[in-house]
Amino acid sequence: MGRKHTPGLFKRNEIWHIEKRIRGHRLRESTGTKSLIEAERYLSKRIEEIREATIYGVRPKRNFRSAATKFLMENQHKRSIQDDAGRLKVLVTFIGDFSLDTIHMGVMQPFIDARRKAGIKTRTINHGLQIVRRILNLATSDWMDELGLTWLANAPKIKLLPEHDLRKPYPLSWEEQKRLFEELPRHLERMALFAVNTGCRDQEICQLRWDWEIKIPEPAELRVFIVPSTLVKNGDDRLVVCNTIAQSVIESERGKHPTHVFNFRGKSMGRMLSSGWRSARKRAGLDCVRVHDLKHTFGRRLRAAAVSFEDRQDLLGHRSGRITTHYSSAELQMLYQAANKVCEQQHSGFTLTELCHSRHNQDL
């Protein structure tokens, strides 16, 4: 017959749990162990923590690992939750066992040094520091325990690093665009041509669906899409106004896939940055060009065409404070005309429209 255990402990699925009232507070939680001795030690620790918190206002020590778990559980709705989980997985290997009140920039230095040694860019390192700062702020302001105390009394200051190695945007010249597009596989060339004429990001293009197309009665040639906020970086629905070249791309893809505008061998794509893109930019002598540079190219050309700042914001999908998905037909027509100004720019004796038509005829 086993020895008697401390009152308030019971076993469920081989694990000891606590069910006990301590100084008027109900404690219900798992000890996380199968060992009765360890469970009793854990219970004694929790009783002492509650006593100190009740009498002296002393907060229990909580480590970063438990805070990271709480953060992930509470933010499953975030579009970037998988990115956050990846960053936290790395961070926990460095500071997971540190209690929240001991975390500061000195503690973060081994993480920073290791990431730099691995060749990680400063901006990526800052993303990790930002999530640590966010968790510490939540522990100070929002997260309360059963005794009404926040997890942390004061949040230490976590500073971001100067981003001296930040890569600058690389808008393409017309000649560079021609070189790159001629090397791209057809499905990527169509997507890139759409990107450089709409300013859409990689995921907005890869996930673009036919049921997001909005029929505009007047003028009949106008084509627009509404990309849902779940795919847009700023969290707002994104209006995509197609100029004449983007329209020609759309029409060339119509009917090829039941749900997605762009596809490869009958399947929707996860990303444009593929081996096909890398090989093409290498052959074109443009190793530095990223998919996101197509958006920068569209923005630069809109500015060169004297398109107003407000219209550039709307065409590029930047947050502006205006409800850009509720434009009238007249306002959409003005944006359409603004977007078409990039089709009219010329370089070295050819227009982008001619390039598009030339490639389209080759495909035929």
Q: pLDDT per residue over 203-223, tens digit each?
A: 999 999 999 998 877 666 788
Provide DSSP, 64-76. Answer: HHHHHHHHHHHTT
- Rounded Cα–Cα distance for residues 31 and 40 (Å): 9
Higher pLDDT, 232 or 292: 292
- Tell me how far apart the alpha carbons of residues 137 and 41 are, in angstroms, rounded to a whole number: 31
pLDDT, position 364: 31
Return the pLDDT at 353. Answer: 43
Give the tokens for residue 344: 């009219």
Q: Are 213 and 225 contacting, i.e. CB atoms less than 8 angstroms apart?
A: yes
* Neighbour tally for 47: CB within 10 Å: 17
- pLDDT digit string (tens) for 334-348? 998 999 999 876 443
238-242 and 346-347: which strand pairing?
unpaired
pLDDT given for residue 270 in this prediction: 85
Checking if the pLDDT of 53 tops 80, the result is no
* Torsion angle of C-alpha atoms 264, 288, 233, 78, degrees rounded to 10: 80
The CA radius of gyration of the chain, in Å to the nearest whole number, is 28
Does the pLDDT at position 324 exceed 60? no
**Are 243 and 191 a contacting pair, CB within 8 Å?**
no
How much is the pLDDT for 46?
A: 76
Mind listing the pLDDT tens digit for each residue in 59-117? 777 899 999 999 999 998 877 788 899 999 999 999 999 999 899 999 999 999 999 99
pLDDT tens digits, 160-196 = 999 887 778 899 999 999 999 999 999 999 999 999 9
Specify the higher pLDDT residue, 110 or 47.
110
Contact between 199 and 299 under an 8 Å Cβ cutoff? The reply is yes
pLDDT at 257: 92
Q: What percent of the chain has pLDDT over 90?
A: 49
